[in-house]
């Protein structure tokens, strides 16, 4: 984008008439509102975002969460989340809280509008005093916590796989 603007400036400096049109009008009109440009940008994001995640993941272990539902037009939608420990490996309650606050800030969301939270049973998530749940509740007491029971099977399988290598090999 900046190369394009630089090219326009060079062309405009060669001719006063071009200068009046390009530097005074074109930059104000450069809003990328044409549907084909928007689709191109969205497609680029759709390709590059998973690629960046997969590069970061490398050969490490990961977990997927797949959910499907129908939208208002009764069209099936599917969401896929990949969970893994990134290279930093810091999943303390305070680091998770900072990450969520940064996410909210980036997207203009307010913690005061949050009304629900749902996590697995890990102590850094649900801890009564220093868990992520408690850190969020200190900022907003209107946020209800619901234990995510879907994680209980995962936690059970992990515990069993740690004690029985034959079970572990079944999953890996």
The candidate with the shortest Cα–Cα distance to 55, out of 87, 91, 90, 78, is: 87
- pLDDT reported for residue 34: 74
Q: What mean pLDDT is reported for the chain?
A: 75
Residue 2 pLDDT greater than 60, yes or no: no
What do you get for the CA distance between the two ends of the chain, in Å?
Answer: 45
Least confidently predicted of 43-47, 112-116, 151-155: 151-155
Q: Inter-axis angle of helices 93-106 and 132-139, to 10 degrees?
A: 50
Tell whether the model's pLDDT for residue 152 goes beyond 80: no
CB under 8 A, 24+ apart: contacts of 139-145: 139/111, 139/112, 140/111, 140/112, 140/114, 142/114, 142/115, 143/114, 143/115, 143/116, 143/117, 144/115, 144/116, 144/117, 145/116, 145/117, 145/118, 145/119
pLDDT at 160 over 70: yes
> How confident is the model over 22-45, as a mean pLDDT?
73
Q: Residue 143 gets which letter from DSSP?
A: P
Check pLDDT > 70 for residue 12.
Answer: no
């Amino acid at each position: 984008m900046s190369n394009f603007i630089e090219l326009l400036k060079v062309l405009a400096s060669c001719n006063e008439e071009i200068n009046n049109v390009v530097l005074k009008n074109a930059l104000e009109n450069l809003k990328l509102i044409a549907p084909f440009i928007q689709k191109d940008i969205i497609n680029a994001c759709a390709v590059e975002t998973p690629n960046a995640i997969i590069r970061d993941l490398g050969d490490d272990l990961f977990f997927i969460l797949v959910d499907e539902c129908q939208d208002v037009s009764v069209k099936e939608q599917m969401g896929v989340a990949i969970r893994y420990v990134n290279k930093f490996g810091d999943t303390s309650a305070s680091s998770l809280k900072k990450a969520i606050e940064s996410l909210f800030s980036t997207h203009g969301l307010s913690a005061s509008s949050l009304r629900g939270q749902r996590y697995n049973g890990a102590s850094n998530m649900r801890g009564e005093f220093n868990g992520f749940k408690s850190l969020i509740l200190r900022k907003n007491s209107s946020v209800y916590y619901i234990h995510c029971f879907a994680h209980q099977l995962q936690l059970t399988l992990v515990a069993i796989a740690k004690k029985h290598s034959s079970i572990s090999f079944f999953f890996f």
